[in-house]
Amino acid sequence: MRLNNLGEIGAIKKITQTLDIDSQKIIRGPGEDDCAVVRTNNEKLLFASDMLTRTRHLPKEMPYHNIGWTAVAVNLSDIAAMGGHPLFLTSSIGTPNITKEQLTQLTKGMNECSRKHDSYIVGGDLCQHREIVINCSIIGKPTKNTLYRDGANPQEYLAVTGQVGTAGLAAKTITGKHKLPEKVRKKAFKQLFKPNPRIKEGQYISKNGGTSAIDVSDGLLHSTKQLSNASKIGINIDSSKIPIDPEIKSSAKKNNIDIMELIDIGGDYEILFTTKKPNKIPENASIIGKTKEKQEVTIDHQKIDTTGYDHFKPENPKEN
């Protein structure tokens, strides 16, 4: 059996089965959450890594500055989804023979994004490769109420920060075959090419009754399913409450792009979370559903099926 048949989740499961864990030292281990949570001598730390490749994640239209920014942002988003404080990153860069100016733009993008969120690039690696591959790793400080995927209970509220589907529209229309008004195109590509990790929001949620969280980078419905599976509870989403930019929605409709597909493409680095306190959510967040006993994900009480973005299903129509 090969990875394409196993699928990404199956492969990650296979990996975690081969790894030893010491539950005294490792509070959250491989495959469990957006970050690992580990105990060093004196403190708890968040630790995560994300690899981006030109072919899979970094469209050729993406400027070097944005590549650097994004490589850091996706790691910060992992810290945000745990409600933590980012501290330090390493960045390993595999690159073809680019120019000095392109390299400078790349690392300036990394520096800007990390500094914006009070963290620093402290080291890494550099090697030659046939296409750009960047791996950033991050350590962060958890808050007292760390947000895990398995913390949701029935009778809580489901909410999401910002808006979803914006990056999805950019990913879906990147081939240039669709027609988008210039303003909408710019908005969509800004979201895809310069994601804004929700660090402050994550910290706010963790301090104000948040019970579980995940980032929706692999798609809203897919992430909802992950929260549901981890917490062993059900979730119903009210489709009318999903925060989608009206201009994005109308452009999608004009191009015959299904809205439900759009929000499940991923690329929006928003935080999906459950909370006991629907009145104490970040300003930019929206309540979009409720949790329940029966472990299933429904939209408007109809069961749905979603796989989100799966790296090992190249036949998956959602993949770019």
In the region spanning residues 73 to 102, those forming contacts with its own copies, defined by CB under 8 A, are 87-88, 90-95, 97-100
Task: Give kind and range of the element (H or E) at residue 266.
Answer: none
Task: Give kind and range of the element (H or E) at residue 140.
Answer: strand 133-141
Q: Any binding-site annotation on 20?
A: no
23 binds its own copies (CB under 8 A): no
Return the closest-CA partner of residue 86 out of 97, 98, 77.
77
The nearest distance, CB 264 to its own copies, in angstroms, is 18
Q: Any binding-site annotation on 49?
A: yes
Name the residue nearer to its own copies (CB basis): 246 or 314: 314
Name the residue nearer to its own copies (CB basis): 91 or 275: 91
The nearest distance, CB 135 to its own copies, in angstroms, is 4
CA 221 to chain CA mean position, Å: 12
The nearest distance, CB 95 to its own copies, in angstroms, is 7
Q: What is the CA radius of gyration of the chain?
A: 19
Which residues from 115-154 bind its own copies, rule CB under 8 A?
Answer: 115, 120-130, 133, 135, 137, 139, 141
Distances (CA, A) of 316 to 4, 260, 310: 11, 15, 7
What is the distance between the alpha carbons of residues 188 and 211, in angstroms, rounded to a whole number?
30
Return the closest-CA partner of residue 272 out of 257, 288, 249, 296.
288
The nearest distance, CB 203 to its own copies, in angstroms, is 15
12 binds its own copies (CB under 8 A): yes
Which residues from 181-200 bind its own copies, rule CB under 8 A?
Answer: none
8 binds its own copies (CB under 8 A): yes
Name the residue nearer to its own copies (CB basis): 12 or 259: 12
What is the distance between the alpha carbons of residues 18 and 207, in angstroms, rounded to a whole number?
35
The nearest distance, CB 231 to its own copies, in angstroms, is 19
Which residues from 259-318 bind its own copies, rule CB under 8 A?
Answer: 311-312, 314
What residues contact residue 182 under an 8 Å CB cut-off, 6+ apart? Answer: none
Which residues from 48-77 bind its own copies, rule CB under 8 A?
Answer: 48-53, 55-57
CB 135 within 8 A of CB 127: no
